Chains A and B, each alone.
Chain A
Amino acid sequence: MSACTSKPEDKVTEMSQTVKHNSIEKNKQQLAGLDRRIVLATQSGLPVAAEPYRIIAEQLSIDTQLLMDRLEAMKADHRIRRIGVVPNHYKLGYTANGMSVWDVDDAFIDEAGAQLGRLDMVTHCYQRPRFPPEWTYNLFAMVHGHDRDEVQQKVSQIAELLGSRARKHDILFSTRILKKTGLRLKDKG
């Protein structure tokens, strides 16, 4: 009893902080659960309709504004890259895709990556680990073109741009799509 009566005010403060902390945690968990439901409801796409967000919100039995707020929050922290369309690049005539790989001095990788990313021929640009001696390339840039010649020309332009900062490079053309299902969260119910 003495512990309870000796510093009643502190105890109350401590308790209210615990309650407050618990409610923040609970709120976070609820948001994470809601976000997961939103991902599951939208990962295969949005309805093509005048009010796409209202339709999804109704499916989830939540307010449309709440759905829009959560989508904006996921855009802000980059869980969503963007909302929009993905064209079939083959149907747009970009039938050749070459994964260009570069052996760039680690000291220059940020500069080289930033330069490559700015080129409108490059759709992805990443630094990845080397596996010497069989694999010494550390910078990957996906280059698309209407045919292999165009991809090769673009890669030559990149080689010129990088100059001596790239010790060597190669292009890996895709010859066959073996699988393409995209990324899916499993619905754990």
Chain B
Amino acid sequence: MDALDRNIINTLQHDFPVCDRPFAVLAETLHSTEDELIARVQSMLDSGLLTRFGPMYNAVNMGGALSLCAMKVPEERFDEVAAQVNAFAEVAHNYQRDHEMNMWFVLATETQQELENTLVAIAHRTGVPVYNMPKQKEFFVGLHFKA
């Protein structure tokens, strides 16, 4: 990763223009060329340095429902419960965290009703209570990752 790669990452985390030739527009501000920028972005996607390039959709504003959920899973049942929870297609991410509340997952559904049904189904399937912690307010976050 060189200075241009860092510059691309830092710039494109904020905005990619909507116009006929977006890379040509960016080439001016990044002091590069359209072809070079396309090659760099492709190569960073190929190497896994970038995981996504495109629009980031907000599920809630799309009319869908999203929530962070937590569970206190007994250690000896952790892997079993993880497999049961992950089997639900509505579970988008799931993380183990070092706390009594040790499983944290994000549920994403197209409707609020589906979300509530899924919560009930997960608690029923695993036998472990689910704490539903949807965001009540989102605070503005400025910078992303500095490359």
Contact = CB atoms under 8 A, between A and B. Distances in A.
Contacts of B137: 109-110, 113, 126-127
Interface residues of A, number: 71
Interface in A93-114: 94, 99, 109-110, 113-114
B15 A179 contact: no
Contacts of B145: 87, 89, 92, 94, 123, 144
Given A174-B95, A174-B96, A178-B95, A91 B49 contact: yes
B21 A51 contact: yes
B2 interface: no
A82 B49 contact: no
Nearest to A69: B18
B53 A45 contact: yes
Contacts of A82: 14-16, 55-56
Interface string A36-62: 000100111110111111100000000
Interface of A: 39, 42-46, 48-54, 64, 68, 71-72, 74-75, 77-89, 91-92, 94, 99, 109-110, 113-114, 116-118, 120, 122-129, 131, 135, 140, 144, 170, 172-183, 185-186
